[in-house]
Amino acid sequence: MLTGIKRSLMRKVVVFCLLMSLIPAALVGYLSFRDASRTLQEAQLEKLGAARDLASKNILDYLLVSVTEMTFLAGGDSAREAFEILSFYATVRDSENKAVKLEAQSEKYESIVEKMHANFKRWISLYEPTEAQHDLLGITGVGRGHVSYSVKRQKDFFQELDGELLRGSALSKLYEKVSRTLKPAVTDFSFYPPIGAPAAFIGVPVIKEGKGFLGMLALRIGPEKIDSLMALTAEIGQTGDAFIVGEDLIMRSNARGNPGSILKEKVDTLASREAVKGGTGIGQTEGTRGKQVLTAWEPLGLKKQPSLGADFDWGIVVKIDADEAFAPVTTLGRWVLVIVPVIGLLVALIAFILARSVIKIITETAGRLRELSAGDLTVEIPEFKRTDEIGSLVVELRNLVATLRSRIRQVSQGINVLSTSAAEISSTVYQLAQNASMTSSAVAETVTTVAQVKQAAVLASETAKDVAKSSYRAVEVSQDGKRATDETVDRMGLIRQQMETIGETVVMLSEHSQSIENIIGTVNDLADQSNLLAVNASIEAARAGDQGKGFAVVAHEIKSLSEQSAEATTRIRSLLMDTRQRINAVVLAAEQGTKAVEAGVQQSEKAGEAIQTLSETVARAAQAANMIETTSDQQTLGVTQVAQAMANIESATQQNSSGMDQIQDATKNLDNLAAQLEQLVAVYILEKKA
């Protein structure tokens, strides 16, 4: 069952709605039932307490008022005179010591009664009991007592208290107590033989100053009066009842619906026991028949009323069956048990109708979405005429499908453009890679050439140093020749030898100059090639963009160095031309010197002059050779810088080649990505085939 609920949204909605309705309804019903039960119990207990207090007050008020009024009447002149007359006849004795009694129907007695009725007219009109068992009695006589007066004139009228009928009765005991204490007193209910029913009495003494106790005015109270006072509590319910129990737990009033229960039924319950013990309370207890009842109890407090003179007490108990007291709550519980399922059925029906309308939309939409998930973007989600959230959801789904269709179409177009661009980039990168390879080869060749130029420059520098040294030696030789010419002719041979040596040296110098000229030509050619390579490197750097900026700087430096090398070689060539001219002059002078030596001493002076000239010329040649040496050092340094720059160019070219390889890899990855995107988009159907 749970699996079926989990697999069905409609069942979930129905079950959820049922739970959301039944749980609060059940909770509200339970709380209402509980609160109503508590409130009703409190109300019923409060009602019982009020009925208990009212009954207790009524009975006490009745007894106290009766005692007060009877005391007032018994103390009046009319009562004293009446009792004095009746007491006289009650105490009169004949010759046989028998009481002389008035006949109840005699004219004399009637005249006495009539006079007493006149005195008690107001009191009788207000307090004469209407209940059958109520009566107002006048007891006269000292000691035994005699019922000399009665309103109703029943069986106890004109009876002696110690007679067979009244002997041991509550009335005789009350008369004995009142005559002894001369204070009002009240008796408990007991069986009263003259009327054959229970009765209680209130007695007040009739006292006259100077003559003392004249008798007792007694009020006989039957159960009807107490029942009438307790009947004021009948509003507590059909099973409600209020009754009085004595200290022996026997009822002192009739139970409701059972008029013969007084002095017969014993009520042994918690409430009655507590009441006669002096306790006051209210609550739910167990009744005499084992049923739960709501009960209120308290003692009547007769002993606490001095004016009553009671030596007993009553407990008053007010009760109602718990079933009746809680009947509204029970009815409420039944209604809750009926209403909650009805609510559940209504909610389930409404939830089913609502869920079915929603599930229909969801089912159709889910089917279309299933086709969409399969790649068919031509599917249209149906339009439902709803303005609620479901309608908004369907509208948004329709918009989503339209947007998805548009985006996929744009992505497909973008993939085509991406594929084309990737192919073009791949071709361009391939060309750049080839150019980079060619550039790398050219740079490698240039580096090799520059290395050779460097070696040639070093050799030229060393040669220039040798030339300078030779020039310095030539100067020394010319100076020696000058000194030789100053000597004797016999030194001419030595001079000729020196001149020959000078000739050979000059020839060698000429040859070296020719070699230097050749080297300078080579350096000039290298400078031109370096300039050309620098131009090509600048062009490649411009093609490479930002990555070729460093390469452009190196190319510029190479170009600058090549220009400087060209200028240096030009100057060296100019100096070499001048040196060659000088060397030729030296050769010519040497030849002339040789001829002069051969000619003899006569030409020594001319030889000395020639040698002097030669010395100066050789000195200038030495200076020129020194300049050649300096220029060669500078050219060597420049060529070294060119070699370093070409090494940097070669490194940059290798880096460019590596970058081209990475670009080729990235281009391949881009091409693969375009292919993958094309495969992903290929699963979507954007247009129906005709």
How much is the average pLDDT of 433-459? 73
CA–CA distance, 311 with 288 (Å, rounded to integer): 28
Q: What is the CATH number of the domain that holds 81?
A: 3.30.450.20
Q: How confident is the model at residue 450 (pLDDT cuts 50, 70, 90)?
A: low
Look at residue 7 in the predicted model and tell me its pLDDT: 62
**Secondary structure of 342-391 as H, E, C letters:** HHHHHHHHHHHHHHHHHHHHHHHHHHHHHHHHCCECCCCCCCCCCCCHHH
| Cα distances (angstroms) measured from residue 550 to each of 134, 223, 435, 559, 645 | 141, 134, 18, 14, 11
Look at residue 538 in the predicted model and tell me its pLDDT: 77
Instruction: Examine residue 167 and state whether it is found in any structural domain, yes or no.
Output: yes
Q: How confident is the model at residue 306 (pLDDT cuts 50, 70, 90)?
A: very high
Q: Which pair of structure tokens corresponds to residue 680? A: 């992903």
CA–CA distance, 116 with 85 (Å, rounded to integer): 10
Cβ atoms < 10 Å from Cβ of 402: 13
Instruction: Examine residue 200 and state whether it is found in any structural domain, yes or no.
Output: yes
Look at residue 97 in the predicted model and tell me its pLDDT: 46
Top-ranked range on mean pLDDT: pick from 105-119, 361-375, 675-689? 361-375
Tell me the percentage of the chain whose pLDDT exceeds 90.
16
CB-based burial of residue 77 (10 Å sphere; 0-12 exposed, 13-18 middle, 19+ buried)?
exposed
Instruction: Examine residue 337 and state whether it is found in any structural domain, yes or no.
Output: no
- pTM exceeds 0.75 for this model: no
Of 195, 225, 255, the position where a domain reaches its end is 225
Does the structure show a pLDDT above 70 at 644?
Answer: yes
Does the structure show a pLDDT above 50 at 54?
Answer: yes
Instruction: Examine residue 472 and state whether it is found in any structural domain, yes or no.
Output: yes
Does the structure show a pLDDT above 90 at 250?
Answer: yes
**pLDDT, tens only, 491-546:** 667 767 776 786 677 677 677 767 777 777 787 777 778 778 777 877 877 777 77
Q: How confident is the model at residue 573 (pLDDT cuts 50, 70, 90)?
A: confident
Does the structure show a pLDDT above 70 at 488?
Answer: no
Instruction: Examine residue 466 and state whether it is found in any structural domain, yes or no.
Output: yes
Counting the structural domains of the chain, the total is: 2
Place of tokens 């050979």: 504
Place of tokens 């495969």: 679
Look at residue 343 in the predicted model and tell me its pLDDT: 80
Instruction: Examine residue 578 and state whether it is found in any structural domain, yes or no.
Output: yes
Does the structure show a pLDDT above 60 at 418?
Answer: yes
Please indicate whether residue 614 or residue 396 has the higher confidence score (pLDDT): 396
Instruction: Examine residue 342 and state whether it is found in any structural domain, yes or no.
Output: no
Look at residue 101 in the predicted model and tell me its pLDDT: 57
How much is the average pLDDT of 330-359? 75
Domain that holds residue 151: 75-225
Q: What is the DSSP letter of 318?
A: E
Look up residue 547 and give its amino acid: Q
Q: How confident is the model at residue 249 (pLDDT cuts 50, 70, 90)?
A: very high
Of 199, 225, 251, the position where a domain reaches its end is 225
* H/E segment holding residue 503: helix 492-544
Residue 199 makes CB contacts below 8 A (sequence gap 6+) with: 133, 170, 189, 190, 192, 220, 221, 222
Does the structure show a pLDDT above 70 at 175?
Answer: yes
**pLDDT, tens only, 261-305:** 899 999 999 999 999 999 999 988 887 777 888 899 999 999 999
**pLDDT, tens only, 129-166:** 455 567 888 898 766 788 888 878 889 888 889 889 99
Does the structure show a pLDDT above 60 at 96?
Answer: no
Instruction: Examine residue 357 and state whether it is found in any structural domain, yes or no.
Output: no
CB 445 within 8 A of CB 644: no
Please indicate whether residue 40 or residue 254 has the higher confidence score (pLDDT): 254
Look at residue 92 in the predicted model and tell me its pLDDT: 56
